[in-house]
């Protein structure tokens, strides 16, 4: 379902319009712009599964947008609204996202038209295995060709089934585990992948709030502490973003919009308790510690400092853009702001941290997981040795300097012990993600501030991404 008005282009056209705006500012060789923009291929499969005494036919998609780097990468979405236009738009965003955070992948995306809530777990397993079989036999799941991950409606459980199905079909492939990311830890996953996209949203906001010049563009001052936040979608991405921002940065989540309505509370919502209510009751309706709003989408227009759409595409469109009051929007979902709404908001001075950057935490940690699977070494084990010797050097040097200069500095025994022990997998993943989010933001903001013809972060992000994809095509040839 796309919440945009009938006057607006579809999701893929909307992504293309944003791409075109940036590409027009570049000096690309003739024809390369189109080569980068178009989706290379989309495979559509219809398959039947015997369920509840009858055969049910499902339709699935896997789009490959760009193979300038392989494997290509992108999640698999389970929703009734999945269609070719949506999957191709999402695959395109994957290309630009990977280029922006320098994850060495082309872009891809998949989807299955299904309401996951309508099926039991064992039924979903049979459906998922069959879909995985259909994709794997065409190398649309493959550690060196095409590596899916979770998206809306899927998670660790589905990724474990997909990995197992691929392994059964390729028993001699020693790298079989790397055919999909977002797996559970005990099935070849990596610490920190489940939280990664929401964690990335937090790191993105932290980086934004390190730059007073950028905050001023949105008319914001101070830090994340006390900022009033509205979140749409308390699923994987929205939940982790809201949890970390409220528990670690002091932000107040004053509104949460879900599929059945919204809840608001000026003093701030308790995110873990709201999440368990949603899990147990199927939505936010009836949650005791907040005011329920029947027309959930109207809460997008509430007064707040930061709006985090983390559910689906097209929710901020020409029908509501004029009424959006948040000065800062961070696109945790893919494509939540249509091209038309983007024009309206840009002219009004709303700062939008674009999807291809804001939700890149997932693919960044997926990259770490893929590398871990291919290296066949527990992540952190090799690094730890090396780090230990560096940490030892730093501690020794600090103590020597302090003694030489008579400063009397001492490190607390607890700190010294933790520092010398080095980082475990989770710390390595988080610090690698933080580094990536900081680096990509800085690349974007440099273009934003240095070029007179760039007035927004999205165009800046596209400029960085397109230049990198173009460089890859130019280096390799087509």
- Which candidate in 35, 50, 109, 405 is catalytic? 109
Which residues 418-457 are close enough to bind ligand NAD by CB under 6 A? none
**Only segment of 228-236, 338-346, 376-384, 388-396 that touches ligand NAD (CB under 6 A):** 228-236
Tokens of 428: 């390595």
Which residues 194-213 are close enough to bind ligand NAD by CB under 6 A? 197
Contact pick of 15, 178, 311, 344 for ligand NAD (by CB under 6 A): 311
Which of 359, 459 has the CB closer to ligand NAD?
359
Is residue 205 within 8 A of residue 284, CB to CB? The reply is: no
Is residue 286 within 8 A of residue 262, CB to CB? The reply is: no
232 forms part of the interface with ligand NAD (CB under 6 A): yes
Is residue 89 within 8 A of residue 73, CB to CB? The reply is: no
Q: For the window 233-262, what string marks contact with ligand NAD as x by the rule CB under 6 A?
A: xxxxxx------------------xxx---
82 forms part of the interface with ligand NAD (CB under 6 A): no
Tokens of 55: 């055969």
Q: For the window 121-150, what string marks contact with ligand NAD as x by the rule CB under 6 A?
A: -----------------------------x
What's the rounded Cα separation, in Å, for the pair 374 and 128? 24
Nearest to 461, CA basis, from 353, 342, 362: 353
What's the rounded Cα separation, in Å, for the pair 284 and 263? 7
Tokens of 438: 């900081």
**Only segment of 158-166, 332-340, 424-432, 439-447 that touches ligand NAD (CB under 6 A):** 332-340
Which of 259, 285 has the CB closer to ligand NAD?
259
Which residues 352-381 are close enough to bind ligand NAD by CB under 6 A? 359, 362
Contact pick of 33, 151, 164, 195 for ligand NAD (by CB under 6 A): 151
Write down the least CB distance from residue 182 to ligand NAD, Å.
7
Nearest to 214, CA basis, from 309, 352, 341: 352
Contact pick of 132, 152, 290, 316 for ligand NAD (by CB under 6 A): 152
Write down the least CB distance from residue 153 to ligand NAD, Å.
5
Which of 217, 258 has the CB closer to ligand NAD?
258
Write down the least CB distance from residue 474 to ligand NAD, Å.
28
Write down the least CB distance from residue 179 to ligand NAD, Å.
17
Residues forming the annotated binding site for substrate? Answer: 73, 97, 366
Write down the least CB distance from residue 275 to ligand NAD, Å.
9
Write down the least CB distance from residue 227 to ligand NAD, Å.
21
User: How many amino acids of this chain bind ligand NAD (CB under 6 A)?
Assistant: 24
Contact pick of 63, 191, 334, 350 for ligand NAD (by CB under 6 A): 334
Dihedral of CA atoms 62, 153, 251, 190 in degrees, nearest 10, equals -70
Residues forming the annotated binding site? Answer: 73, 97, 197, 236, 366
Which of 1, 24 has the CB closer to ligand NAD?
1
Tokens of 341: 């709404």
Write down the least CB distance from residue 33 to ligand NAD, Å.
26
Which of 33, 355 has the CB closer to ligand NAD?
355
Neighbours of 50 (CB within 10 A): 9
Instruction: Respond yes or no: is residue 405 known to be catalytic.
Output: no
What does each C-alpha distance from 193 to 77, 189, 272, 289 come to in angstroms? Answer: 17, 8, 19, 31
Nearest to 364, CA basis, from 78, 146, 132, 94: 94
Which of 361, 422 has the CB closer to ligand NAD?
361
Write down the least CB distance from residue 90 to ligand NAD, Å.
6
What does each C-alpha distance from 331 to 342, 353, 408, 464 come to in angstroms? Answer: 12, 6, 48, 18
Nearest to 152, CA basis, from 199, 249, 86, 228: 86
312 forms part of the interface with ligand NAD (CB under 6 A): yes
Which of 33, 320 has the CB closer to ligand NAD?
320
- Provide the β-strand partners of residue 48: 57
What does each C-alpha distance from 160 to 187, 375, 429 come to in angstroms? Answer: 7, 19, 20
**Nearest residue to ligand NAD, by Cβ distance, number only:** 235
**Only segment of 135-143, 156-164, 230-238, 300-308 that touches ligand NAD (CB under 6 A):** 230-238
**Helix 11-23 vs helix 457-476: angle between axes, to the nearest 10 degrees?**
80
Tokens of 189: 């996953």
Which of 300, 470 has the CB closer to ligand NAD?
300
Q: Which pairs from 233-236 meet CB under 8 Å and 24+ separation? A: 233/257, 233/258, 233/309, 233/310, 233/311, 233/312, 233/332, 233/333, 234/258, 234/271, 234/274, 234/275, 234/278, 234/284, 234/310, 235/152, 235/310, 235/311, 236/150, 236/155, 236/194, 236/197, 236/198
Q: What is the 3-state secondary structure (H, E, C) of 13-30?
A: HHHHHHHHHHHCCCCCCC
Active site residues: 109
Contact residues: ligand NAD, CB under 6 A: 150-153, 197, 232-238, 257-259, 296, 310-312, 332-334, 359, 362
């Amino acid at each position: 379902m796309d919440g945009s008005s009938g006057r607006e282009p579809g999701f893929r056209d909307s992504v293309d319009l944003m791409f075109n705006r940036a590409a027009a500012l570049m000096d690309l060789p003739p024809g390369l712009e189109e080569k980068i923009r178009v989706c290379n291929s989309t495979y559509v499969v219809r398959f039947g599964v015997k369920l509840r005494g009858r055969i049910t036919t499902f339709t699935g998609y896997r789009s490959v947008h760009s193979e300038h780097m392989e494997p290509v990468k992108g999640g698999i979405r389970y929703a009734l609204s999945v269609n070719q236009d949506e999957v191709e738009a999402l695959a395109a965003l994957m290309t630009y996202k990977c280029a922006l955070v320098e994850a060495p992948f082309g872009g891809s995306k998949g989807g299955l038209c299904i309401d996951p809530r309508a099926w039991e777990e064992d039924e979903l397993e049979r459906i998922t295995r069959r879909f995985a079989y259909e994709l794997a036999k065409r190398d649309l799941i493959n550690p060196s060709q095409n590596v899916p991950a979770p998206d809306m409606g899927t998670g660790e459980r589905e990724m474990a089934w997909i990995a197992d199905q691929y392994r059964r079909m390729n028993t001699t492939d020693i790298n079989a585990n790397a055919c999909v990311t977002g797996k559970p830890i005990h099935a070849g996953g990596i610490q920190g992948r489940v939280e990664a996209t929401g964690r990335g949203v937090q790191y993105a906001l932290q980086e934004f709030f390190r730059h007073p010049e950028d905050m001023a563009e949105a008319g914001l001052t101070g830090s994340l502490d006390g900022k009033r936040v509205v979140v749409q979608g308390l699923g994987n991405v929205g939940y982790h973003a809201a949890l970390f921002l409220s528990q670690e940065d002091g932000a107040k989540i004053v509104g949460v919009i879900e599929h059945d309505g919204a809840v608001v509370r000026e003093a701030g919502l308790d995110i873990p308790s709201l999440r368990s209510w949603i899990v147990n009751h199927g939505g936010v309706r009836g949650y005791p510690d907040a005011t329920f709003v029947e027309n959930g989408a109207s809460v997008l227009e509430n007064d707040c400092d930061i709006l985090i759409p983390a559910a689906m595409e097209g929710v901020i469109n020409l029908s509501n853009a004029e009424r959006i009051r948040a000065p800062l929007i961070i696109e945790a979902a893919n494509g939540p702001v249509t091209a038309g709404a983007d024009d309206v908001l840009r002219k009004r001075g709303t700062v939008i941290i674009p999807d291809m950057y804001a939700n890149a935490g997932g693919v960044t940690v997926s990259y770490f997981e893929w590398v871990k699977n291919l290296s066949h070494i527990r992540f952190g084990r090799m690094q730890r040795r090396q780090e230990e010797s560096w940490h030892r050097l730093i501690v020794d040097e600090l103590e020597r300097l302090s003694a030489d200069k008579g400063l009397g500095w001492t490190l607390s025994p607890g700190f010294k012990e933790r520092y010398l022990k080095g980082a475990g997998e989770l710390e390595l993943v988080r610090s690698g993600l933080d580094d990536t989010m900081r680096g990509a933001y800085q690349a974007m903001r440099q273009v934003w501030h240095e070029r007179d013809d760039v007035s927004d972060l999205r165009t800046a992000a596209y400029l960085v991404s397109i230049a990198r994809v173009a460089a890859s095509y130019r280096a390799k040839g087509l």
